[in-house]
Chain A
């Protein structure tokens, strides 16, 4: 099957397993950022750590997480930011993860480190994409690192050799291939669930605020391994077309 893609971000995504996008829907992006500013009670999200006792970080994060997920407008605006890109990368019948996740990574905090992983390794669909929306400019260790799809596959082939060593050994061995994403507020990242990524201790002097949420084609298969990440535990169907509704309601005639 030879499929040619016209748009640069489609080509980038196919080649690298991720792409950086310039957000078009500024109205929705502004809604999201304004809401976060209000909930964080600080004027500049980058400086959030200045008046924070680090022990309260996770409690505050969970509180904001709860509030944004209670706000249906927030969810709609988040989807609006990504909709056109998802249409071109995933499809127009879409499932969206139940919750939008929030990361607040303050400088020198070790409790928010996420070790190297691919979401599909944790049982999610191999057809899934992860949307990542920074609410501040992110760079170096304030950002996250990714490995492109080809290098991820290379590591995957040798993964079992590292079973009793841990992922740091892999990270250090292939360090030169991992790239901390430089991304500004107003841009977004979409990456495949099959690429390796993670974050490290934030050694900059600024706090990173970012949101993430997973999407997949409505009928895209679940992970090949039997895992606890059931469709209905993970996602809600967001965009369904009429033919699908008719199909879902179809019942075979019963012959007695």
Chain B
């Protein structure tokens, strides 16, 4: 059974702000639906531009198959940083499951994937205004 670590976000990202317990419940149900084991979520620190817990999960020595997160919006928006994160995940064979967008990062080529994610985010911002 795959183990997915929950990653939750408390900051307001362009209007998106979901209580942590609701995020956790969504992620737990998602794991149940795909037959994965849910590992207790880690809340990202609430300081601007801080992704320390995300890096902690990726670099952790514990055996994890992936990360479950509600939205792409909870990942860094800066392309260079995003690319670095996906490179690291690919190297460590960590999947990333974006539940709301129904996107799973596994072994895809990173550059087009980051481009797609970024476009998705940009369109979302324009449409929401």
A contact residues vs B (CB 8 Å cutoff): 55, 58, 99, 110-115, 117, 121-123, 159-160, 162-168, 223, 225-230, 233
Is the contact region of chain A dominated by helix, strand, or loop, or is it mixed?
loop
**Residue on A with the closest CB to B31?**
A58
Cα of A165 to Cα of B56 in the assembled complex, Å: 7
B106 within 8 A of A: no
Is A166 a contact of B40 with CB atoms below 8 Å? Answer: no
Cα of A230 to Cα of B22 in the assembled complex, Å: 13
B contact residues vs A (CB 8 Å cutoff): 1, 3, 10-12, 17-21, 37-40, 42-53, 55-63, 84
Is A123 a contact of B37 with CB atoms below 8 Å? Answer: no
B87 to chain A: closest CB distance in Å?
12
Is B43 a contact of A166 with CB atoms below 8 Å? Answer: no
Is A110 a contact of B12 with CB atoms below 8 Å? Answer: no
| Most interface-central of B11, B50, B55 (chain A CB within 10 A) | B55
Is A162 a contact of B52 with CB atoms below 8 Å? Answer: yes
| Most interface-central of B10, B18, B47 (chain A CB within 10 A) | B10
Is A121 a contact of B19 with CB atoms below 8 Å? Answer: no
Cα of A60 to Cα of B45 in the assembled complex, Å: 29
Cα of A159 to Cα of B49 in the assembled complex, Å: 12
Cα of A58 to Cα of B19 in the assembled complex, Å: 21
Is B10 a contact of A55 with CB atoms below 8 Å? Answer: no
Is A114 a contact of B40 with CB atoms below 8 Å? Answer: yes
Q: Which residues of A contact B10 (CB under 8 A)?
A: 122-123, 227-229
Cα of A225 to Cα of B53 in the assembled complex, Å: 17
Cα of A228 to Cα of B12 in the assembled complex, Å: 7
A159 and B43 in contact, given A111-B37, A226-B11, A228-B10 (Cβ under 8 angstroms):
no
Is A225 a contact of B11 with CB atoms below 8 Å? Answer: yes
Q: Which residues of A contact B56 (CB under 8 A)?
A: 115, 166-168
B44 to chain A: closest CB distance in Å?
8
19 inter-chain pairs at a CB distance below 8 angstroms, sorted by A residue, are A55-B1, A58-B38, A111-B40, A117-B42, A121-B46, A122-B10, A122-B46, A123-B20, A123-B43, A159-B47, A163-B55, A165-B52, A166-B53, A166-B55, A167-B52, A167-B53, A168-B59, A168-B61, A228-B17
Cα of A99 to Cα of B57 in the assembled complex, Å: 26
